[in-house]
Amino acid sequence: MKFFKGTTLLFLAIIIFGGLFGYWLWGNYDTRSNELLTIEQQNVSNQYSSTVNSYRLVSKTLYDEVLNSEEILNWLAEAEKADPTEQAVFRQKLYKRLTPVFDRLKKKNFKQINFYLPDTTNFLNMQRPDYFGVKFGDIRPSVKMVSQKQEYVEGFEEGKDFNGFMFVFPLSKNGQYLGSVETSVSFNTFRNEMSLIFPLAYNFLIKKNVLSDMVYSDEARSYFLSDLNRDYFYEKEADSIKRVDIISSELISKINTKIKTSAYDLMTKGQMFTKTTTVDNMNFMVTFVPIKNIKGDQVAYMASYHLDDAIALLYNDLLLKMVFLVAIVFAMLFFIYYIHESQQKLLDTGEKLKNITTAMGEGLIVINPDEKVVFYNDAAAKISGFSTEKVLNQVYWQVLKFVHENDEERNDDFVKYVFHYNEPKNDSQNVYLKQADGDKVPLAISAAPLRSGGGKALGCIVVFRDITQEKEVDKAKTEFVSLASHQLKTPMSAVNWYSEMLMDEDVGKLTSQQKDFLKEIREGNDRMVKLVNGLLNVSRIDMGTLSIIPEPVDLKVMFESAISELQFGTTAKKIKIVKIFDPTVPKINLDVNLMRIVVQNLLSNAVKYSREGGEVRVEIKKQNAKDVFIAVKDSGYGIPKKQQPSIFKKLFRADNVKTLKVEGTGLGLYVAKSVVEAFGGKIWFESEENKGTSFYITLPLKGVKAKTGTKGLESNA
């Protein structure tokens, strides 16, 4: 009862919507099916008119070239004034003259050529030359109309001998009306011609009362009762005409049986209409075109039988949509029930989630692709000083201003990184949040994508915490490292200088043993210098004092230069360098010194950690319209899988290379990652122990913006 009360209106709304949509589907089907039927009727009417036109053209050509010739007109003019004996002579001449022409017309299925004198007396019937002397004016309206108006007349007409299409032409000479001449085709001829031109089957039906009034009793045997309507007759097919219909008579009979009831009333009204039916798993459209005689009375029908699936397919589509609609309605009703039952559970779960996020000490915000905040917990409000009402549904950077320590410029690249790469990003370097009271608080940031089931980033989850105390401790440590490194650098430079002087024997000759000792001192000092430089670089990165001075950089030239610098190592270990450089990669605005450090670190690592006779592959290409892709691959020792998550940490070196005599501070990759990310890029790797390591970098083609700082980085080249 609780469910019924809560969902009755919604149930009714869905049922009403389903009913209205079903009614709309039916109306759409009805409109479309009527359009198809109208098109079918237009096509059949056009076919009918086209066939009439073709016979008219033949008759007109015959009239112009033969029947209206000077010779024939002279014979008719003489015959009108002659006695019966003389008329017989002219009739014989005319018959002989037209016999070849009539034979050709019969091959085109013309029924007859008749000549009439001015008083409508039948002068010559080419089909029955012995039949003449009868006035046709009272029984043949077409002949009478031509005699009265002396104008061309055409159309369907009922006759004593047969029913068909008549083309009657007046004959005149020097303004004197001499009579008329007629060509005609029968129903059967007309049907056969249409079937030849158009791939349909046709039948002609003539009204029963017309046959009773007009046709001679002996000709009535040529007709049989229609199986569609007992008020109509079919004309039997002539043996001389070969049927070319693509639909058999037996199939037409089955079709007629199925549609006769619905067609009867419409035939009685004399309307044009189309019926659809299915017989033997085939779909048909039957179109009835009313035929009027020369007087304008509807006296016959032409029925076309068209094998066509259009209406059936439309109906099947309607059924599918109706079934789908019913399924959707039931699914929606079930869904409402499910939602109703699950609502309380969801509320309980939401309350638990709210309690968890409220209890969190870290700030939590969720940003959608439109950069608006869609979730904001209490800890975020406490850290920022901005209330939930102030932040929620607002563009995050307009309220929550993530900036640098020493300026007001936006420092929220971690959000852009997540949306661009669809990967998590941690950032605790010089990210500050400007609070509501104007103070700045340092943050440790962890940003990750909120993905859909398909893996697409639907949002960005940002977790942050106040690291003021940690920042102060780190600052103290970093300042100490920086100070100590600077203090160490001066005496080490002096050691380096004095050792060079001793090695060059500027202050006296040395023994071989002394030179060996000095060489060890020099190499040890160099290692200390590299370590100090690395520590200085890390301190500058950690303190946020790194400066960026962009200028156009040709990455191909830079890699070529770095490879040349490593030539001694590659030659000694017989390492093959394979370069795949895309010539279409343009120059990019980067800090030359910083980028060179990245390139030197990656290439020197690839060479150092490759076995003798190994291969290092370097590739530069456009990844897409926005980024350039860099790959440095070696076939060396690789990185153990368990230690791969620590590869970009400070002072980290993998266990499998610590035993090798390979120099390294464990700071190069940390510096490289910091520089690449400062450029707005991404660095990652793939590695398998004892098979090699591949480092990949993407950098924005648009380059990097300048950044003010105290100093750049120290090179360890």
**Which of these ranges, 159-173, 295-309, 310-324, 655-669, has the smallest mean pLDDT?**
655-669
Residue 629 lies in a domain: yes
Residue 68 lies in a domain: yes
| pLDDT over threshold 90, residue 181 | yes
Number of residues that make up the chain: 717
Residues 184 and 277 in one domain: yes
Please give the single-letter amino acid code of residue 213. D
CA atoms of 191 and 201, how far apart (whole Å): 8
Buried b vs exposed e over 358-370: b needs ≥16 C-beta within 10 Å?
eeeebbbbbbeee
Chosen domain end from 520, 543, 566: 543
CA atoms of 267 and 270, how far apart (whole Å): 5
| pLDDT over threshold 70, residue 413 | yes
In the chain, the number of structural domains is: 4
Higher pLDDT, 349 or 130: 130
C-alpha atoms less than 13 angstroms from C-alpha of 445 in its C-beta half-sphere: 28
Residues 489 and 554 in one domain: no
Q: pLDDT value at position 309?
A: 87
Task: Estimate the share of the chain in helix, then strand, then coil, as percent rounded to the nearest 5.
Answer: 50, 25, 25
| pLDDT over threshold 60, residue 15 | yes
> In the sheet that 682-688 helps form, which strands lie side by side, from edge to edge?
576-581, 615-622, 627-634, 692-700, 682-688
SS3 329: helix
Mean pLDDT for 480-506 is 61
CB atoms within 10 A of CB 582: 13
Mean pLDDT for 204-209 is 84
Q: pLDDT value at position 699?
A: 92
> In the sheet that 298-307 helps form, which strands lie side by side, from edge to edge?
223-225, 232-235, 201-207, 298-307, 282-292, 273-279
Residue 331 lies in a domain: no
Per-residue pLDDT band for 19 (boundaries 50, 70, 90) equals: confident
| pLDDT over threshold 70, residue 668 | yes
Q: Nearest-5° angle of CA 159, CA 164, CA 169?
A: 85
Residue 650, exposed/middle/buried by CB under 10 A (0-12, 13-18, 19+)?
A: middle
Alpha carbon of 555 to those of 552, 600, 688: distances in Å? Answer: 9, 12, 27
φ and ψ at residue 290, rounded to 5 degrees: -70, 140
Per-residue pLDDT band for 663 (boundaries 50, 70, 90) equals: low
| pLDDT over threshold 70, residue 115 | yes
Q: pLDDT value at position 684?
A: 93
The domain that contains 57 carries what CATH number? Answer: 3.30.450.20
| pLDDT over threshold 70, residue 704 | yes
Q: Nearest-CA neighbor of 182 among 82, 285, 55, 36?
A: 55
Higher pLDDT, 346 or 638: 638
Q: Nearest-CA neighbor of 169 among 184, 189, 158, 159?
A: 184
Residues 651 and 584 in one domain: yes
Q: pLDDT value at position 528?
A: 63
Beta carbons within 8 Å of 490's beta carbon, 6+ residues apart: none
- DSSP readout, 419-452? HHH-S-EEE-SS-EEE-TTS-EEEEEEEEEEEE-
CA atoms of 677 and 427, how far apart (whole Å): 10
CB atoms within 10 A of CB 202: 25
Residues 412 and 488 in one domain: no
Mean pLDDT for 117-128 is 91
Q: At what angle do helices 310-359 and 2-62 cross, to 10 degrees?
A: 150
- DSSP readout, 60-106? HHHIIIIIT-HHHHHHHHHHHHS-HHHHHHHHHHHHHHHHHHHHHHH
| pLDDT over threshold 80, residue 361 | no
Q: What is the pLDDT of residues 254-289, one digit of tens each?
A: 999 999 888 988 988 888 999 999 999 999 999 999
Mean pLDDT for 218-224 is 64
Chosen domain end from 512, 543, 574: 543
Q: pLDDT value at position 408?
A: 79
Instruction: Give the position of tokens 């160099």.
Output: 526
**Which of these ranges, 62-71, 492-501, 591-600, 673-682, has the smallest mean pLDDT?**
492-501
Residue 716 lies in a domain: no
Mean pLDDT for 428-439 is 81
Residues 228 and 163 in one domain: yes
**Which of these ranges, 12-26, 115-129, 534-548, has the smallest mean pLDDT?**
534-548
Residues 254 and 394 in one domain: no
For 537, the domain range is 472-543
C-alpha atoms less than 13 angstroms from C-alpha of 660 in its C-beta half-sphere: 14
Q: pLDDT value at position 216?
A: 47
Q: How far is CA 430 from the centre of its chain?
A: 46
Residues 122 and 231 in one domain: yes
Residue 9 lies in a domain: no
Residues 477 and 605 in one domain: no
Mean pLDDT for 11-39 is 87
Residues 477 and 621 in one domain: no
Residue 11 lies in a domain: no
CA atoms of 334 and 199, how far apart (whole Å): 52
Residue 352 lies in a domain: no
Q: At what angle do helices 592-608 and 555-565 cross, to 10 degrees?
A: 50
Q: Which two tokens stand for residue 317?
A: 């589509």
Per-residue pLDDT band for 3 (boundaries 50, 70, 90) equals: very low
| pLDDT over threshold 90, residue 598 | no
Residues 291 and 164 in one domain: yes
| pLDDT over threshold 90, residue 153 | yes
Q: What is the pLDDT of residues 683-699, one digit of tens each?
A: 999 999 888 999 999 99
Residues 493 and 511 in one domain: yes
Higher pLDDT, 497 or 424: 424
Instruction: Give the position of tokens 């091959």.
Output: 107
Per-residue pLDDT band for 308 (boundaries 50, 70, 90) equals: confident
Q: pLDDT value at position 157?
A: 85
Mean pLDDT, the chain, integer: 81
The domain that contains 618 carries what CATH number? Answer: 3.30.565.10
Alpha carbon of 306 to those of 37, 87, 475: distances in Å? Answer: 12, 51, 90
Q: pLDDT value at position 482?
A: 53
C-alpha atoms less than 13 angstroms from C-alpha of 218 in its C-beta half-sphere: 1
Buried b vs exposed e over 205-244: b needs ≥16 C-beta within 10 Å?
bbbbebbeebbeeebeebbeebebbeebbbbebbeeeeee
Own/partner pairs, 338-347, CB within 8 angstroms, 24+ separation:
340/3, 340/6, 340/7, 341/3
Q: What is the pLDDT of residues 445-466, one digit of tens each?
A: 888 888 877 778 888 888 888 8
Chosen domain end from 466, 482, 505: 466
* Residue pair 593/711 in contact by the 8 Å Cβ criterion: no
Q: pLDDT value at position 2?
A: 47
Residue 21 lies in a domain: no
Q: What is the pLDDT of residues 86-111, one digit of tens each?
A: 889 989 999 999 999 998 888 877 88
For the chain, give the longest Cα–Cα distance.
162
Residues 525 and 582 in one domain: no
Percent of the chain with pLDDT over 70: 80
